Structure 1
Amino acid sequence: MTIKTISSREVYRNPWTSVREDVIERANGKRGIYGVVDKDPACIVIPLDSGADGEFVYLIEQFRYTVGARMWEFPQGSWEVAEVVPEDLARGELREETGLTAERMTHLSTLQIAYGVMNQKQHVFLAEGLSMGSADPDAEESDLVVRRVSVSEFEKMVLDGTIVDNCSVAAWGLYRLWRERGR
């Protein structure tokens, strides 16, 4: 490794996140401090609805406190547990946030979210064969808005800056590559 950990101490913890401060030594021998945010595994789900009328995706809009705005994105989240079956998590988040259930869940990949500061992996799933039920959002998700949009409208929202969530954009890019290569 090019960076060696000399010591590590937790400086903050809540049910969702812990922050640690590591004293490090770089390959050149110089020491420094590295702040790391640790979070449990997460998932993001692309709910794709294909039919005679075209291809559609489901998005959620919610208030994101850290940026002080309502944002559009794919359903995503975690259960604040380190050991989780990724597909169970994805199915759970999809149902909780949208009310949708899926006949088929395809695991496309596992990505790292913002690994310059955070240690959190995110499992990317494609959900197909969708059926609508009732949502069961968490307390902080009580204001979620669910919207079904055509794929072309979704891509327009990405290009015009309406959707700025890097996880949603990365998941969509991954899906497009997967689909172009014949699944």
Structure 2
Amino acid sequence: MNYNHREGPVSDAPVPSITTLSSREVYRNNWMRVREDDILRSNGKQGIYGVVEKDDAAIIIPIEGDRIWLIEQYRYTIEEQALELPQGGWEMADADPEELARGELKEETGLQAEQMTYLGHLWIAYGFTRQKQHVYLATGLTHADKDPDEEEHDIVLHNMPVAEFEQMMHEGKVRDASTVAAWGLYLMWKARQ
């Protein structure tokens, strides 16, 4: 039982505050599905909710000693070059998370990991999208050939000290929410070792 300081005890059982009245798919391509739901809120007000659905993804923290590997690529949605941890998905609903993480690491960086440590999962922007992202720490790295897909032709690989990476996040030079959140999970995991 949780405790709400204003109202007293709160049950741990989830109570939906929104009921789906109907749902229809309004768009689909190989990477995503978009649906629009007619909803009823617990206050009696009806409305609509747009949801983007994507298959699971992975984000990988590749570390060698006190250095980390990052990728830089052009992100069309923000029209900027972005520095981030390797990440992505395969547009397969049943992809094994570790296999996906290993595949994305090799595709984007050319690195292979001896050990992949699962740190947990995150929901990417669940205010409008339903996509789970599995977080892995990759260690025991060896170099192989990169195998980018056609959308990753412009990836630039960076290797830098962890302290520099953390400073870049602090200064707002690394702004990818998934990268920052995955790093937070890593720091919590590391503190418990």
Q: Which amino acid is 1:24 matched to? A: I
Which residue matches 1:47? 62
Identity %: 57
Cα distance in 2 between the residues matched to 1:106 and 1:139: 28
* Structure 2 residue corresponding to 1:138, chosen from 124, 149, 154: 149
Point out the structure with max Rg over C-alpha.
Answer: 2
SS at match of 1:176: helix
Q: Which amino acid is 2:39 matched to? A: I
* Structure 2 residue corresponding to 1:71, chosen from 76, 82, 91: 82
Q: How does 1:68-147 map to 2 (within 5 A)?
A: 68-147=79-158
Which residue matches 2:5? none
Alignment TM-score, normalising by the size of structure 2: 0.91
Cα distance in 1 between the residues matched to 2:181 and 2:75: 19
Which residue matches 1:30? 45
Cα distance in 2 between the residues matched to 1:94 and 1:37: 25
Q: Deviations over 1:13-66 (max 9, x none)?
A: 11001110000001111100000000000000000111xxxx110000000000
Does 1:19 pair with 2:25?
no
Give the drift of 1:161.
1.1
In structure 1, runs of 5+ residues without a counterpart are none
Cα distance in 1 between the residues matched to 2:130 and 2:77: 18
SS at match of 2:151: helix
- Structure 1 runs of 4+ aligned residues shifted over 6 Å read none
Cα distance in 1 between the residues matched to 2:123 and 2:113: 25
Which residue matches 1:6? 21
When the two structures are aligned, how many residues end up with a matched partner?
A: 178
Cα distance in 2 between the residues matched to 1:85 and 1:6: 33
Q: Deviations over 1:73-113 (max 9, x none)?
A: 00000000111100000000000000000000000001100
Which residue matches 2:11? none
Q: CA RMSD in A?
A: 0.5
Does 1:181 pair with 2:183?
no
Alignment TM-score, normalising by the size of structure 1: 0.96
